[in-house]
């Protein structure tokens, strides 16, 4: 196990830890339009921008085997129908690209669903 790769995965997990909350907020806003909704959406987009900023600061880690538990978690953040439906596609694509950049060769786990 490579501590550098494990550390990078742990930093991804820390940066992405609010994704379930952001999905929950986007789901709540999906139901209609109420006063303040646009302000909340803007806040969600600012939160995603902060997540990107954190991810951009993580250096890429070398590919090693076997995959650590932290890497497994890092590969699961963007899996799930709710995430795919509610997170704007350009944000999903960017987050996925950043995770792949940091942890080259990471496997996307289709058998695990994000719980929100």
**Residue 33: which region, alpha, beta or left (left: phi > 0; alpha: psi -120 to 50)?**
beta
Give tens-digit pLDDT for 39-63: 999 999 999 999 999 999 999 888 7
* pTM of structure: 0.78
Give tens-digit pLDDT for 69-91: 888 788 788 888 888 899 999 99
Give tens-digit pLDDT for 27-42: 999 877 889 999 999 9
Distance CA 21, CA 41 (A): 13
Identify the pLDDT of residue 66: 63
Identify the pLDDT of residue 71: 82
> How many helices (H) and strands (E) would you count in the chain?
6, 0
Q: What percent of the chain has pLDDT over 70?
A: 86
CA distances to 26, 28, 55, 68 from 101, rounded to whole Å, are 26, 31, 10, 17
């Amino acid at each position: 196990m490579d501590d550098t790769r494990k550390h990078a995965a742990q930093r991804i997990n820390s940066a992405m830890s609010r994704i379930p909350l952001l999905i929950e907020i986007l789901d709540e806003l999906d139901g209609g339009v109420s006063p303040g909704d646009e302000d909340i959406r803007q806040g969600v987009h600012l939160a995603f921008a902060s997540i990107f900023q954190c991810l951009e600061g993580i250096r890429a880690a070398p590919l090693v085997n076997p995959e650590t538990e932290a890497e497994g978690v890092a590969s699961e953040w963007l899996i799930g129908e709710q995430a795919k439906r509610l997170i704007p596609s350009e944000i999903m694509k960017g987050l996925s690209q950043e995770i792949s950049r940091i942890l080259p060769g990471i496997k996307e786990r289709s058998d695990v669903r994000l719980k929100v």
